[in-house]
Structure 1
C-alpha cells in the first residue's frame, strides 16, 4: 500500500512486521516513498500505513474520516509551510462518549533548513494541497469497541502536521532568502484548538491529547496549554507515543540529533517559547522531551519502545556516523545486530530509562516501555489492541493506557531487555533501492 504519491521520493523502502523467532512476515511487504532528505520523513508517517491487523470479528473496516480545512486560516496567519490552510479530520462521538474528546497530533519529522523545508512544501508534510481527503481511523482513533475499548465512541480528531517543527514555530516574516516560507506551527495549533472549542471541545467532560513521534514531542510541548483550554472540572491528560527523543551521543561520539534540533529551533525562532531553556543551554537541548517535561503539570503517559527504530536509525547510528556501513544490517533488522551492537543498544535502552527515572515519582504519570524494535504504536490496530498485540505484564498498550487514564491502577510498565519479549512485532526494513 503506497503512500500518497505527492511525497517526492528519493528512495523506496520495504517494511514489514515480524514476530521474533517466527519465519517470514506477519504483515505483507509494501513500499513507501521517502522524502528527499533522510530526516524529513518521520518513521511514524509510514508506520501508520503498515497493514492493519486482520479485520476484527465485528467485520468492520477502519472508518474513513473527511479532511476539514481551518476556516479563514490566512486571516489568522495559521498556514502550512507553503501558505495553504492546515487541516484536521473530525469524527463525532456518540452515546456515553459524546462529551469526551481525543485529539491526535500527527507526526512527520522536522526540517532543519530552507532546502529541506522547500521539499516539504511540495508534499503532504508541508501543504494541505497534497493531503488525503479521507484517512482511516484505527488503533486509538478506532470507533470499533473490540479494537479500542475505552475510547471507541469519543469525539476523535487527527490534526495534520504541515509546519515542520512540532506545531511550535511562529515566525512573522514570510520571505526567507527571497522565497516564501510560513513557519506558523504555533498559530496552527491555536487556530485548530479555537475551531474545535466551538465544535464542542469547550464542553468536554474528558479530554485526551495524544501524538505520534514529532506529534508526540508536540504533545509534551502543548499539554499544559491544552489543559488550560478546558473546563476546570474535566479530566484532562496527555499521551506521547514514540516522542521521547534522546539527547545522546551517536556511535561516532557526536550529538547528531542535538545539532539537528539546534537548526530547527534557530530556523523557526523557537528559543523564546521554552521557559525551561536556560541562557547557557544549547539551542537544541531546549527541544528534547527530557527538558520539556520538567515544566509539565498535567498528567502524561509516555509510550515508547526501548529500541525505537527511528532513533536507532537517526539518533544512535545515523548514516553520517557510519561511513563503513558496519551498522547497515543492524539498522534494518535488530535480529541482525552483532554482540557489540546489541551491547550499544542495551546502553541506549538504559539512557531512556535514566531519562524517565524522575517520572517514576510522579504518581499521576504513567509509562509503557516495551522492548520492541518499532516506532509509533498507538495508531495501528495490530500494536494497539488485538489478539497478537505486544504485551508487558500481560497487558496490551490499550489496556495499560485505559487503566491509567481512568485511574484503575498505577501504570509504570518497564519491559525486560531484547530479545526477551516474544509478543513484540519488530520492524524489518529491506535495503533501499532506486525506484
Structure 2
C-alpha cells in the first residue's frame, strides 16, 4: 500500500460501523500524500431510547465488548473519555475522528427501528410486529414514535459529525444497507436525496469536486423510495 494514491474504507451495517471505528487506523497505514476517506453505509447506530424508555442497545453493545474483548481495539480517543461500550456508538467516536467520513444512512433505518427503537424484548405483546415489517402498517401513535426516533437519529448525527470534511446522504426510506446494489447506487431509478443519487454524492465528495450534506424530508415524502427493499 506504500504507493497508494486513493483509498476508501467502507462497509455496510456492522461493516459500516467498523469503517467508522477503524477509519483513523486505516489512514495511518497509508502514505500521507494519499487521498484517504471512509464511507459508512447503515453503520451509524445511535445510542437511542427504546419504546420502554430504556436503552437495550447499550446493554447489547456492552455484551459484545466484553465477549470479544473489543475494548483494546476501539479508538483510544474515545475510550480514554468514556466506557468502552459507549465507544461502539459512532456519535461518540466520530467527534474525534481526523479522517474524512461520509455517512449513508436512512433516518428510518429498518434495523434500528426493529432492534433499537422497538426490540422484541420490550414488546412482549408484539404490538409493534406489523409496524416494524412495514411503516404503512403503523398506528398514528407508533408512526409519531418513529418520527421521534428520526429526531434522535439526526441529533446523534449532528453531535458526531461536526467537521467540514464530513459527507451526509440521509434519506427517509425504510431501509438498511443501500450502497451494495447497482439498483440503489447509481441506476436510473436509484433513490435520491436533494435530487442526487448516492453514488454521485460519494464520488464528488471523495474526489473533492463538491461537498455533499443532505438530509431528506420526513417519511413518507420521498417517492424514489419505491426502488428500495427494506431488507436490502
TM-score bracket for the superposition, by shorter chain length: over 0.9
Aligned to 1:344: 145
Q: State the shift of 1:285 in Å.
A: 1.2
Note if contact 2:23-2:99 (Cα within 8 Å) is conserved in structure 1.
yes
**TM-score normalised to structure 2 length:** 0.93
In terms of Rg, which structure is larger? 1
Q: Deviations over 1:48-77 (max 9, x none)?
A: xxxxxxxxxxxxxxxxxxxxxxxxxxxxxx
Distance in 2 (alpha carbons) for counterparts of 1:288 and 1:414? 20
Aligned partners of 1:360, 1:302: CA distance in 2, in Å? 9
Superposition pairs of residues 114-153 of structure 1, within 5 angstroms: none
Task: Give the match's secondary structure for 1:312.
Answer: helix
Partner of 1:261: 61
Within a 5 Å distance, the mapping from 1:33-432 to structure 2 comes to 201-274=1-74, 275=76, 276-278=78-80, 281-358=82-159, 361-424=162-225, 425-427=227-229
Unpaired runs of 5+ in structure 2? Answer: none
Alpha-carbon displacement from aligned partner over 1:155-182 (angstroms, at most 9, x marks no partner): xxxxxxxxxxxxxxxxxxxxxxxxxxxx
TM-superposed deviation, 1:284: 2.3
Cα distance in 2 between the residues matched to 1:208 and 1:428: 26
The alpha carbon displacement at 1:358 in A equals 4.0
Contact 2:184–2:228 (Cα < 8 Å) also in 1: no
8 Å Cα contact 1:309/1:374 also seen in 2: yes
Instruction: Give, in angstroms, the shift of residue 359 of structure 1.
Output: 5.5
Contact 1:212 1:243 in 2 (8 A): yes
Backbone CA RMSD of aligned residues: 1.6
What are the Cα deviations for residues 188-232 of structure 1, in whole angstroms up to 9, with x where unaligned? xxxxxxxxxxxxx33111111111110111101111111111111
**1:262-311 Cα distance to aligned partner (Å, 9 max, x none):** 001011222244321247x4442121111111221000001110100111
8 Å CA contact retained: 2:10, 2:16: yes
Inter-CA distance 277–295: structure 2 relative to 1 (3 Å threshold): same
CA gap 1:361/1:270 in 2 versus in 1, 3 angstroms: closer
Q: C-alpha distance in 2, partners of 1:229/1:278?
A: 22
Contact 1:262 1:282 in 2 (8 A): no
SS where residue 208 of structure 1 aligns?
A: strand
Once residues 286 and 312 of structure 1 are traced to their aligned partners in structure 2, the CA distance between those partners, rounded to angstroms, is 21
Deviation at 1:406, TM superposition (A): 1.1
Contact 1:360/1:412 (<8 A) preserved: no
How far did 1:235 drift?
A: 0.6
CA displacement at 1:362 relative to structure 2:
1.3
Q: TM-score, normalised by structure 1?
A: 0.51
In structure 2, how many angstroms separate the alpha carbons of the residues matched to 1:330 and 1:380? 26
Structure 1: 5+ residue runs without aligned partners? 1-200, 430-435
Give me the whole-angstrom Cα distance separating, in 2, the residues matched to 1:352 and 1:291: 13
